[in-house]
Amino acid sequence: MSAFFDVPNDIVFDLNDNASNSCDPSVPYLLTPGPLTTSDKTKRAMLRDWGSWDDEFRAMTANMRQQLLAMINDKKNEFDCVPMQGSGTFVVEAMLASFLPRNSKTLVLANGAYGQRIAQTLTYLKRQHVVIDKGDYLPPRADEVQTTLANDPAITHVIVVHCETSSGILNPIEEISEVVYAAGRKLLIDSMSAFGAIALEVNKIRYEAIVSSANKCIEGVPGFGFVIAKKSEFEAAKGRSHSLSLDLHAQWDTMNKTGQWRFTPPTHVVAAFMQALAQHQEEGGVAARGARYANNRDVMVAGMRDLGFETLLKDRWLSPIIVTFFNPADEKFDFHTFYQLMKEGGFIIYPGKLTIVDSFRIGCIGHLDSNVMQQVVQAAADALKKMGVASAVPPQKALTERAKLLA
């Protein structure tokens, strides 16, 4: 690894701080799907200022783009990677506005908040679209996508969320990709919360573009996202975007010509991201990152089930990113109190986002391992005890609803 993004020696510390959260142990772990818990080394990489047009920062940007591209194993050199300022949603919007022609029609596969947000973005962008909405529990499947495409020849593009972070469902993007390309259409993927932990190699799955951001599975801090897409898509996007700042063609073109971001880049965030990438590689890349998260999930889910909690999803659809649990039926259970007790125990959890039943979520991603997950389960057990909840079994209503929907 070249030295230009190394932080000064006096603030370098142990890289193997896998089970420690922060220099300050009173700071709780974030069991949330981004922002998430980052390593000390990543945080400390932000303690220096960078000139955005300076050679060193430009080299950093180029190196970052190469490392991200390397993760999709693009042997034919067909793809390019372009970072864009903003949170993930900004970059999804940039992708949609740049890659969907004005006369396109998009099939949105929704099963949660992020799929719905894509449809909402298309409404803002005045791009024609139809939605298959599967609710909270179910993945979109190849057969229904195939039927919809066959019945509507006007559809040019399909967009799917890789891991729908609102429920934690891992959508079957491989089978969807197959039917999309068999029908001669194009696929875009919101892989925000999966990229870096779940493989997206272009020789194994076909797509035009994917989008992700700094503060998810690469374990950086928030501030920018990135699109990895076919060069032909960046080329074709010229003049298409409604937005000056979100124009991916312009960002791509300028970056390739000058090495610079068009407008002020989040320099410290990029420096932190370079550290996060180095640690990703050191850990063993996408496969190792995914394996750690899967182990985090398995340890946490097993422990929570021992306490009586039930997952919203069947094991088959449980992502290694985030898991949704039903709130317990016991009337002494109160989510706000549970949240506060978990926080006092050192863990920030995430409220649920379901429409039908009450739930909460626990993330498995970030700079944490299965030892931390065991402590999470212990903290949950302690919190239940303090509330006087004997068992975390969910209400019958939740289970019946789920059974009905899964039938």
d(CA 240, CA 252): 14
Q: Are 246 and 90 in contact (CB under 8 A)?
A: yes
Q: Which stretch binds ligand PLP (CB under 6 A): 48-56, 85-93, 134-142, 383-391?
A: 85-93
Give yes or no for residue 116 binding ligand PLP (CB under 6 A).
Answer: no
Residue closest to 135 by CA, chosen among 354, 370, 376 = 354
Give yes or no for residue 161 binding ligand PLP (CB under 6 A).
Answer: yes
Give yes or no for residue 114 binding ligand PLP (CB under 6 A).
Answer: yes
Output the six-digit token pair for 240. Answer: 């298409």
Least distance from ligand PLP to the Cβ atom of residue 164, Å: 6
Q: Which stretch binds ligand PLP (CB under 6 A): 3-11, 186-194, 230-238, 254-262?
A: 186-194
Q: Which is nearer to ligand PLP, 92 or 132 (CB)?
A: 92
d(CA 277, CA 254): 24
Q: Which stretch binds ligand PLP (CB under 6 A): 88-96, 103-111, 123-131, 253-261?
A: 88-96
The DSSP symbol for 318 reads B
CB atoms within 10 A of CB 56: 12
Give yes or no for residue 190 binding ligand PLP (CB under 6 A).
Answer: yes
Helices (H) and strands (E) in the chain, counts: 13, 14
Q: Which is nearer to ligand PLP, 286 or 383 (CB)?
A: 286
Q: Which stretch binds ligand PLP (CB under 6 A): 86-94, 277-285, 333-341, 364-372?
A: 86-94
Beta strand spans in 144-270 (E): 157-161, 163-164, 169-170, 186-190, 209-213, 224-230
Give yes or no for residue 213 binding ligand PLP (CB under 6 A).
Answer: yes
Q: Which is nearer to ligand PLP, 96 or 255 (CB)?
A: 96
d(CA 167, CA 112): 7
Q: Which residues contact 18 (CB under 8 A, 6 or more apart)?
A: 367, 368, 369
Least distance from ligand PLP to the Cβ atom of residue 80, Å: 21
Give yes or no for residue 97 binding ligand PLP (CB under 6 A).
Answer: no
d(CA 377, CA 325): 13
| Binding-site member from 98, 165, 296, 311 for ligand PLP (CB under 6 A) | 165
| Cα-based torsion angle of the residue sequence 191, 196, 200, 202 in order, rounded to the nearest 10 degrees | 120
Give yes or no for residue 196 binding ligand PLP (CB under 6 A).
Answer: no
Give yes or no for residue 34 binding ligand PLP (CB under 6 A).
Answer: yes
Give yes or no for residue 352 binding ligand PLP (CB under 6 A).
Answer: no
Output the six-digit token pair for 147. Answer: 């039927």
Residue closest to 193 by CA, chosen among 2, 397, 35, 380 = 35
Give yes or no for residue 350 binding ligand PLP (CB under 6 A).
Answer: no
Residue closest to 147 by CA, chosen among 179, 110, 185, 178 = 179
Give yes or no for residue 33 binding ligand PLP (CB under 6 A).
Answer: yes
Q: Which residues contact 77 (CB under 8 A, 6 or more apart)?
A: none
Q: Which is nearer to ligand PLP, 189 or 377 (CB)?
A: 189
| Binding-site member from 22, 63, 89, 128 for ligand PLP (CB under 6 A) | 89
Least distance from ligand PLP to the Cβ atom of residue 53, Å: 27
Three-state SS at 121: helix
| Binding-site member from 169, 176, 192, 357 for ligand PLP (CB under 6 A) | 192
Which residue ranges make up the site for ligand PLP (CB under 6 A)? 33-34, 87-89, 92, 114, 161, 165, 190, 192-193, 213
